Amino acid sequence: MKNDDDLGFCELSFQRRPELVSIVRRFVSDFYDRTLADADACSRVALATHELLENAVKYASDGMATVRIEVTARGAAGAHIRIRTRNHAAPEDAAYIRRTIDELRGSPDPNLYYLDVIRRNARRTDGSGLGLARIAAEAEMEVSVKCGARGTVTVIAETDVKLSAVAVSARGIA
């Protein structure tokens, strides 16, 4: 049943194909460019989608990853964006994600945490390890994780944004 505050969602599931991550980012950017109030908000949603999906695809133990972007109305001209990725991960990968997000959420300033992660990971050769910190700092989103008993990992990034005048008009809010 559709709630009046539900402005829609987009969900994509696919097998491990890293080249699709950039395609999904372009789609999200184009799609939300017409919905959100400013280019910065659209860019933040696209960045978070890209980072979350890149991790979900990379660490999917069964090769499958899902991304879901939900938009819910907040007030007369605002919306809440929730981006969720879901995949099955090896126990050590799930534990690493949980530790990283706990560390991130425990930091008083996402920007200082991001700079610290950059410093700590400068010499890594297996990826930057910056994605979750980047979402919190650059995309200005809250990040959380839920780990299921059967290895399912759901990572969530969310924020409030302004709707474009066109989107507000379409809802009859004016």
Tens digits of residue pLDDT in 47-56: 999 999 999 9
Percent of all residues in the chain with a pLDDT value above 90, rounded to a whole number: 50
Q: What is the pLDDT of residues 121-166, one digit of tens each?
A: 877 656 556 899 999 999 999 999 999 988 899 999 999 988 777 6
Which residues, in sequence order, are CB contacts of 36 under 8 Å at separation 6+? Answer: 42, 45, 79, 161, 162, 163, 164, 167
Beta bridge partners of 73: 79
Determine the average pLDDT of the residues in 8-20. Answer: 84
The pLDDT score that the predictor gives to residue 1 is 44
3-state secondary structure the chain: CCCCCEEEEEEEEEECCCHHHHHHHHHHHHHHHCCECCHHHHHHHHHHHHHHHHHHHHCCCCCEEEEEEEEEEECCCEEEEEEEEEEECCHHHHHHHHHHHHHHHHCCCHHHHHHHHHHHCCCCCCCCCCHHHHHHHCCCCEEEEEECCCCEEEEEEEEEEEECHHHHHHHCCC
Tokens of 112: 């200082």
pTM for this prediction: 0.87
User: What is the average pLDDT value for the chain, to the nearest integer?
Assistant: 86
